[in-house]
Structure 1
Amino acid sequence: MPNRIRRGLAAATALLATACASSTPTAGDPDVVASTTFPVKIADCAGRRTTFDAPPTRIVTSNAAALEMLLELGAGDRVIGTGFPPGAGYLPAAIAERGAKVPVLGKTVIAKEQLLGSGADLYIDTFSSTTAGGPGGPPGEQEFAAAGIKHLHLLSTACTATTKTDLAEVEQDIERLGAVTGTLPAADRLVAAMDGTLDRVAVALGALPDDRRPSYFFFDYDAGTQQPTAVCRRQIANAIITLAGARNAFADCDADFRPVGWEEVVARNPDWIQLGVRNRGSADDTRAAFDEAERFLRDNPATRDLTAVRQGRFVRIGSEVTTVAGVRNADTVQQIARTVHPELVKDGR
């Protein structure tokens, strides 16, 4: 296990399994860590412990990001359903066929009755309390327990009490899922590959001074254009932008996401704008959505004179690999760094 993660497992918060599903998780000081043998004990952000006596065999995931982690770990054959399924072309080719075979329990959030009656023994939730239940609200922890379902969250996106400046929590999520599913060697390999990518970018960028870090705005096109939604310092996108040698235009925002006004974006006048578009199910449709997002910024009177818009400094990288924990977050760092610092990061190095 890489030293960075070994230290993190001993000191950082673990997968969230909050007893109050409607509350926002906060960081605690759990002393239970993932083990290489069973039983495996995982502590949540508040120190609450979940024990696994054996690997789960019937897993449901809240969305494509959690599903992708399990597929990459080699535990995809245990996934019996997912919400927010991956669109065509979203998953890497090596795991796309297996991912397409996973039953879809909800095109968006999974309805409470569907989830509780799924026969799952583990539900992996990417965000705090918003990715299950639908209009009726998410199941409570007592309901999960009564259905025989252990409920775990990914700490990197569910626990938003701290500023995100690196991908350590994402890597810890991968290691914890590896421990829970008995696939730690695969988790180690995934984390090592991420570390290798991040290290190469860091070496290429060197000690980049602040005045050489361009300001960067993540434009969440799918969240709406009337009032933009900014990614703030408690969101993993903040870490990705920082590691790529840029400055999140809304890093002073003490939240994970926050609705802002276009006048705020104009006042910060970003040097670069990422067109945050979710996968549309086909390469052509996704490309068209990127085109729509760029066209909006060029035609909108409030944004057409922004530095990034006038100079055509747009970054076309999907929302999912930027704002949701996953094994491709390090690749996103590399892509952004290569775009905003082409003189330093060449061919990904």
Structure 2
Amino acid sequence: MIRLSLFALLMSATTAAAFPVTVKSCDREVTFDAAPTRAISHDVNLTEMMLVLGLRDSMIGYTGISGWKTLDAEMRAGVAELPELAARYPTKEVMAGAEPDFFFAGWNYGMKVGGEVTPDTLEPFGIQTYELTESCIHIGPKAKSSMDDMYNDILNLGIIFGVEAKAAELVAGWKERLAGATAGVDRSAPLRVFVYDSGEEAPFTAGAYAMPTALIEAAGGTNIMNDLEKSWAEIGWEPVVERNPEVVVIVNYGDVTAEQKIAFMKESPAFASIDAVKNDRFVVLEYVEATPGPRNINAVEKLVAGFWGN
């Protein structure tokens, strides 16, 4: 243990002196001459990535949480003393006024294509941006969602902030935990799974490039909408009924509770023929578990238990 601790300290000292560093952020190469000291994160899952790396002292605030989500006790403690600079998406004026040197966000996670807050619009204010890997599909091609999307972000944040050893330790631990959670999963006949985020007239769901597809596959299922060439998107109910999911994964957040979403599906005659509804097979994931972040391993463990009764 002493040797490991000394090694970690030596690694930290070495990496802290290794600037400048360059990381790939979507289709850009971004170079940092020093670790950011006035960082802002957007959304609860990205903020957790910063906190789990021990970077709160390098942050001046966060955006995009209270407008949609309610923080649990762990997150409330984590962001204590940090101000929320915008309840939803920040404006360019808010960003410039806070004088950050770094923004951790993503496309549809604090930034919109063609919007007023983008890496290009922030650069003149001396604000460098790192983009969430899952979100890169909004600006160009990328591989289908995988657990590596989340690992990649943690490792890149480790490089940017000079905490590579901590990032590598976290990722190695998550991989080990994931392997243990999924070791007994029978993958010969993957369960058909539908992700229900929100919407009654038309459901908002996860496509090929959204994190739940990777979580479901890790747990031995297949997303029935994995041919949807998007991350998150609104679809019709017809393909859901036709593809007959055996399990429905509910994403829990916002004003409509998971229980209300389940009741809506169970009480609607239109869904009476769906296997998941007939057999009352629903698994609830919190928003922070279903989007890229440290709780993705919790999510897979929940899915394995819900799919296979483990």
TM-score by length of structure 1 reads 0.77
Q: Percent identity?
A: 25
Q: CA contact under 8 A between 2:103 and 2:129: conserved in structure 1? A: yes
Larger strand share, 1 or 2 = 2
1:90 aligns with 2:72: yes
Q: Is 308-317 or 97-106 further displaced after alignment?
A: 97-106
Count of aligned positions: 292
State the alpha-carbon separation in 2 of the partners of residues 165 and 148 from structure 1. 31
**Could you report, residue by residue, the CA deviation over 1:17-57 in whole angstroms, capped at 9, with x for unpaired residues?**
xxxxxxxxxxxxxxxxx9982111112332x3211111100
Q: Which of 303, 319, 324 pairs up with 2:271? A: 303
Offset of residue 202 of structure 1: 3.3
Relative distance call for 1:139 and 1:317 in structure 2 (3 A) is closer
Structure 1 gaps of 5+ residues are 1-33, 281-287
2:300 aligned to 333, 336, 340, which one? 333
After superposition, give the CA deviation of every residue in 1:94-148 in whole Å (9 maximum; x if it has no partner): x6413132211111111221012211000111x22561489x9323544312211
Look up the SS of the partner of 1:123 in the other structure. Answer: strand
Q: Any stretches of 5+ residues in structure 2 without a counterpart?
A: 1-14
Question: In 2, distance between residues paired with 1:140 and 1:274?
Answer: 32
Aligned mates of 1:270, 1:107 — CA distance in 2: 35
SS in 2 for 1:60: strand
Match of residue 195, structure 2, among 197, 215, 218: 218
3-state SS in 2 of match to 1:291: helix
Q: 1:173 to 1:98 in 2, by over 3 A?
A: same
Q: Residue 200 of structure 1 corresponds to which residue in structure 2?
A: 180
Query: Are the aligned partners of 1:263 and 1:302 in contact in 2 as well (CA < 8 Å)?
Result: no
User: Which residue of 2 is the match for residue 121 of structure 1?
Assistant: 101
Greater than 6 Å deviation, 4+ residue runs: none
Cα deviation for residue 335 of structure 1 reads 1.1
Listed as ranges, the matches of 1:91-110 within 5 Å are 93=74, 96-110=76-90
> In 2, distance between residues paired with 1:253 and 1:328?
25
Cα distance, 1:70 vs. partner?
A: 0.8
Q: Do the aligned partners of residues 191 and 130 (structure 1) sit closer, same or farther apart at CA in structure 2, a change above 3 Å counting?
A: closer
What is the CA–CA distance in structure 2 between the aligned matches of 1:232 and 1:175, rounded to whole Å?
25
- Partner in structure 2 of residue 4 of structure 1: none
Could you say if the C-alpha distance between residues 260 and 143 of structure 1 is closer, same or farther in structure 2, counting changes exceeding 3 Å? closer
Alignment map for 1:29-178 (pairs within 5 Å): 37-46=18-27, 48-85=28-65, 88-90=70-72, 93=74, 96-125=76-105, 127-128=106-107, 131-132=110-111, 137-159=115-137, 161-164=141-144, 166-178=146-158
What is the CA deviation profile of residues 161-187 of structure 1, one whole-angstrom value per residue up to 9, with x for unaligned ones? 334353112101101101111112221
CA RMSD of aligned residues (A): 2.4
Equivalences for 1:3-42 in 2 at 5 Å?
37-42=18-23
> Is residue 217–residue 249 contact of structure 1 (8 Å, CA) maintained in 2?
yes
User: Alignment partner of 1:252: what SS?
Assistant: coil
Output the CA distance in 2 between the equivalents of 1:319 and 1:266.
24
1:186 alignment partner in structure 2:
166
8 Å contact kept, 1:40–1:179: yes
Cα displacement string for residues 174-203 of structure 1 (whole angstroms, at most 9, x for unaligned residues):
011011111122212211121012111332
Partner of 1:11: none
